[in-house]
């Protein structure tokens, strides 16, 4: 089974409009902001000219009403929400999980997810993981080449079980995006 690819890194933010100018100053290009029925406003951000289908983009999610995203923002503040991975064969990926230590998120079990995606979680892991089926891209990453996550012990094993080479344990205590411009701490991106 080919390894999954990093499709996006989703950050929960208080205000898209407040954050976008600082990202554009880096030369990063947001797509149009879209409103979604689950109560969010969202935009993908990539390197200028990378295109909408390129892997390795940033997804900014702003709660726009009551719901799970607003509750997460109230509880934890802005920051990493989920990692989006694309797998060539979602069934084969799911079949590799039983002894991995990952739990299927109740959202997937209740049918909230589409038939083409799977949400995973583990207490102590700093983000949810969304895995969906899509042909793997031969394109270079649009912006994010990798993510360094501050993990220890069993959580490092969980990361390895995902099989995505772009997800790495961090040397320190910060979550770092490895971008085409170099390493960027998520906390630094969210300072507005």
Instruction: Decide if 180 is inside a domain.
Output: no
* The predicted structure's pLDDT at residue 16: 96
**Average pLDDT value for residue range 159-187:** 93
For the chain, the average pLDDT equals 88
Note whether residue 158 is domain-resident.
no
pLDDT attached to residue 18: 95
Q: Identify whether 175 is part of a domain.
A: no
Task: Say which residue, 25 or 10, is predicted with more confidence.
Answer: 10
Domain ranges, residue 53? 5-143
Has residue 111 been placed in a domain?
yes
Q: Is the pLDDT of residue 54 over 90?
A: no
36 phi/psi in degrees, rounded to 5 = -125, 150
In this predicted structure, what is the pLDDT of residue 61? 97
Q: Which residues pair with 131 in a beta bridge?
A: 85, 118
Residue 130 has pLDDT above 80, yes or no: yes
- Helix ranges (DSSP H) in 77-179: 90-95, 106-109, 154-162
Nearest to 83 by CA among 63, 66, 61, 110: 61
Cβ neighbours for 139, distance < 8 A, ≥ 6 positions apart: 51, 53, 54, 55
Average pLDDT of the residues in 150-165: 90
What's the domain count of the chain?
A: 1
Whether this prediction's pTM lies above 0.85 is answered by: yes
How confident is the model over 23-49, as a mean pLDDT? Answer: 89
Can you give the CATH number for the domain in which 17 is found? 3.10.180.10
Q: Where do the H-state alpha helices sit in 26-88?
A: 68-76
Nearest to 6 by CA among 182, 178, 186, 166: 166
Q: What is the pLDDT of residue 122?
A: 93
């Amino acid at each position: 089974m080919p390894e999954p690819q990093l499709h996006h890194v989703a950050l929960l933010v208080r205000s898209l409009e407040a954050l976008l100018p600082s990202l554009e100053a880096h030369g990063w290009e947001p797509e149009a902001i879209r409103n979604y029925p689950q109560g969010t406003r969202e935009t993908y951000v990539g390197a200028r000219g990378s295109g909408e289908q390129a892997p390795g983009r940033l997804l900014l999610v702003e709660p726009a009403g009551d719901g799970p995203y607003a509750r997460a923002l109230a509880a934890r503040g802005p920051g990493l929400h989920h990692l989006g991975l694309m797998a060539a064969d979602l069934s084969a990926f799911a079949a590799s999980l039983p002894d991995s230590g990952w739990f299927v998120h109740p959202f997937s079990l209740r049918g909230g997810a589409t038939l083409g995606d799977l949400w995973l979680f583990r207490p102590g892991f700093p983000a949810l993981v969304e895995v969906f089926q899509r042909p793997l891209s031969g394109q270079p990453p649009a912006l994010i080449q990798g993510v360094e996550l501050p993990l220890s012990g069993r959580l490092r094993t969980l990361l390895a079980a995902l099989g995505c080479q772009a997800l790495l344990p961090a040397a320190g205590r910060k979550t770092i995006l490895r971008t085409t411009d170099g390493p960027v701490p998520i906390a630094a991106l969210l300072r507005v």
